[in-house]
């Protein structure tokens, strides 16, 4: 997808600090971390947001959720962690390529909205 920041990261046109990669998924460190550990997990196929998840592409989302505990364990997030996906403007989504934030490494605020 042209002009998609995360598609450019997947293509290697923009550098990232990768923590995990396979054929369908990439995980890398957020450039502006909001917690000691802040990782973004993305599908390599361009899905704009949670709203774009369908029966045809949801297998990669299931795969991401199987990987998240493995990534959290590798990052030693033994005290727990939060998984967040902002969908659309009211949620403050700034990059229109589906991504799941993994946040941890400290006791996180309980604020949800």
Residue numbers at the binding site for ligand AMP (CB under 6 A) = 5, 14, 16, 30-32, 40, 86, 92-95
Q: Choose from Zn ion, ligand AMP, none: what does 46 bind? Cβ within 5-8 Å by kind.
A: Zn ion
Least distance between ligand AMP and beta carbon 98 (Å): 10
Q: Coil, helix or strand for 25? A: strand
Q: What angle do CA 8, 64, 84 make, to 5 degrees?
A: 85
**Shortest spacing between CB 19 and Zn ion, in angstroms:** 19
Give the C-alpha separation, 67 to 19, whole Å.
11
45 forms part of the interface with Zn ion (CB under 5 A)? no
Q: Which residues contact 59 (CB under 8 A, 6 or more apart)?
A: none
Q: Rounded to the nearest whole angstrom, what is the least distance from the CB of residue 29 to ligand AMP in the complex?
A: 7
Positive or negative: CA dihedral 25, 18, 81, 103:
negative
Q: Is 101 a catalytic residue?
A: no
Active site residues: 99
């Amino acid at each position: 997808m042209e002009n998609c920041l995360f598609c450019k990261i997947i293509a290697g046109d923009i550098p990232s600090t990768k923590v995990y990669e396979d054929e369908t998924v990439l995980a890398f460190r957020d450039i502006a971390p909001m917690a000691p550990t802040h990782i973004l997990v993305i599908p390599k196929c361009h899905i704009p947001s949670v709203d774009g998840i369908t029966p045809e592409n949801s297998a990669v989302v299931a795969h991401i959720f199987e990987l998240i505990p493995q990534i959290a364990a590798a990052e030693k997030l033994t005290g727990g962690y939060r998984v967040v996906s902002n969908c659309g403007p009211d949620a403050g989504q700034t990059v229109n390529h589906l991504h799941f934030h993994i946040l941890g490494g400290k006791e996180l605020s309980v604020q949800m909205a």
